[in-house]
A and B are shown apart, each in its own frame.
Chain A
Amino acid sequence: MNKSTTNILRILLMVGLQVLIFNHIHLFGFLNPNVYLLALFLLPLDIPKSAQYAIAFATGLFIDIFQFTYGIHASACMIFILLRPYLMYALNVNKKKNDTEVPIPGKKDFRWLLLFTLLMTLSHQLIVTMLEVFSFRQFHHTLLVIFANTLFTTLLILCMEYIFIPIKKQNL
């Protein structure tokens, strides 16, 4: 299987999982993890940026269609893709320019991955929730939703990464 087929299948799988399973999880009434972000985390960095944006838009819009929030997830996903290389560059210790290696377990250590996933998920969740709520009333509740969802999503994404991605032994 070549690389593009793998990616497309992964995106379809993650979107399907999100729509069929994770959209129906409403823990404590507001916890609703956006696990489909894993597909965007694992999207290769070396394909053209416009293609990345288009993929993110399509993915987000697909999620939107099932949640009746047309445009919100699409917008958040594109900003996610926009931020990804900059955050990777900012978090890299050796400041290697044009790092196109997808950060997965085995390539990066756990602490790096945790911080990266946390920040990326937070940015996505922030946009989604703020666009959906669109008000600063009861802001503490909005913040609670944002942070709880971020933590939950991060937990699930890291679990899935460590469970399903085979770690090739490398010298870190």
Chain B
Amino acid sequence: MTNLLDFLKRYFHVLTFVVLQVVCIVLISKTMNYPGFAIARATKVLTTPVNRLCYGVVRHFNFNKENQYLVQQNLELMNAQESNFLISSDSVTGVEGDYTDTLGRTKRVRLYEYTSANVIYNTIHKKNNYLMIDKGSEDGIEPDMSVLSANGVVGVVSDVSKHFATVISLLHPDCQISAKVQPANQLGTITWRYGDPTSVYLEDIPEHLNINEGDSVLTSGYSNIFPSGILIGTISEKSKNPTASFLTLKVQLATDFNHINTVYVVRNLYREELETLKSNMKEDE
């Protein structure tokens, strides 16, 4: 104890000096901004790469959450697309009040609605390929709803359980969807042939049409399952059918079926009505 007191007595001036200097430094750093900025600027050479490295590692832990936000945002954007709506009338020809809402915007009728789901099972190399998604009848999934990925068309829902649903992927011989090739704007049917999971074939295209490799193939929107204008793929090969005057076009798929994770399921809100009409047509035949 006496030693300590002796020590303090001997070095009291050092202690005073240090304490008061610290007070000075605190005052300087509290009241003057410039030194802080100057130091930050001077040490940027060191801090920037370290921070970037650190953030580059840390951000991987947030990808899951980030993905959820992105899927949510994608859904909102997809639902807001103009092609999801039937426009009953525009504000030029329509009587004001009848066809516009309180803000003066044209009243629109929604035709398609999107929800998201995750793929939990997927095959691509079998003869009949299926996917399974983690949403079912409890989430409002029904058979014959279309399934899209971020890049393009994936398939059609075939069977639904309470919490899961089976999807016939495009890589299935029975999955024939109506498509049109742009810019020729010609309708055709998409079919898949066993073997190559990266491409499908577009058939029934007349020979005289000017169709080039690289042209886009989109959904036609006539099937009541797919909204119109969804990308299926691009034409990669052109071959002539020797027996008929139709072209068979090989289409490079936009969707990479090997790496499907998040898909969007599209519901046609008026499908039953449209189906009834179509069945009436068939009865007339």
Contact = CB atoms under 8 A, between A and B. Distances in A.
A71 B25 contact: yes
Given A49-B13, A53-B16, A57-B20, A71 B26 contact: yes
A49 B28 CA distance: 24
Contact of B28 (A48, A50, A72, A78): A72
Nearest to B31: A70
Nearest to A137: B38
Interface size class of B (residues with CB under 8 A): 10 to 19
Interface in A53-108: 53-54, 57, 60, 64, 68-72, 74-75, 78, 82
A158 interface: no
Contacts of B20: 53-54, 57, 74, 78
Contacts of A54: 16, 20
B17 A131 contact: no
B17 A82 contact: yes
Given A71-B23, A71-B24, A134 B35 contact: yes
A53 B28 contact: no
Most buried by A among B21, B23, B24, B30: B24
Interface string B18-59: 001101111110111011001000000000000000000000
B33 to A, nearest CB: 11
B270 interface: no
B178 to A, nearest CB: 70
Nearest to A56: B20
A71 B16 contact: no
Interface in A128-162: 131, 134-135
A63 B216 CA distance: 78
Contacts of A64: 27
Most buried by B among A48, A53, A135: A53
A163 to B, nearest CB: 32
B31 A71 contact: yes
Interface string A25-52: 0000000000000000000000011101
A167 B99 CA distance: 106
A22 to B, nearest CB: 22
Contacts of B34: 134
A69 B34 CA distance: 12
11 contacts: A49-B17, A53-B13, A57-B20, A69-B32, A70-B31, A70-B32, A71-B28, A72-B24, A72-B28, A78-B21, A134-B35
The 5 closest A-B pairs by CB, nearest first: A71-B27, A49-B13, A75-B24, A50-B16, A71-B28
